[in-house]
């Protein structure tokens, strides 16, 4: 189940693989992030980041560190052109 990250996921059956978008500043949707969703993630879930520029990349890396995401779930980074790199 993929969500924009703007809706709560705690009621989703934990057997479902959840892909939560983490919106960086360049998306123009930073204020829509529900950071409380990050505490609900299971090891089979993902956090997806679409990166527009170096500022977005640096922000996303700081979120990985702040919430310990890289140790808990897969976090693919996508460029605006659709290529991906998982960290």
Parse the chain into domains and list their residue ranges: 2-86
46 contacts 77 by C-beta, under 8 angstroms: no
pTM for the model stands at 0.84
Supply 15's token pair: 């057997």
Grade residue 81 by pLDDT with cuts at 50, 70 and 90. low
The model's pLDDT over 19-77, given as tens digits with 9 standing for 90+, comes to 999 999 999 999 999 999 999 999 999 999 999 999 999 999 999 999 999 999 999 99
pLDDT at 18 over 80: yes
Predicted local confidence at residue 5, as pLDDT: 73
Q: Quick one: 66 exposed, middle or buried, by C-beta within 10 A (0-12, 13-18, 19+)?
A: exposed
14 contacts 42 by C-beta, under 8 angstroms: yes
Predicted local confidence at residue 6, as pLDDT: 76
């Amino acid at each position: 189940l993929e969500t924009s990250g703007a809706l709560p996921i705690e009621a989703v059956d934990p057997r479902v693989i959840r892909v939560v978008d983490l919106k960086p500043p360049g998306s123009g949707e930073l204020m829509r992030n529900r950071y409380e969703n990050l505490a609900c993630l299971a090891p089979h879930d993902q956090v997806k980041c679409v990166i527009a520029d170096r500022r977005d990349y640096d922000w996303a890396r700081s979120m990985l560190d702040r919430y310990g995401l890289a140790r808990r779930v897969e976090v693919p980074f996508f460029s605006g052109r659709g290529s991906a790199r998982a960290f």
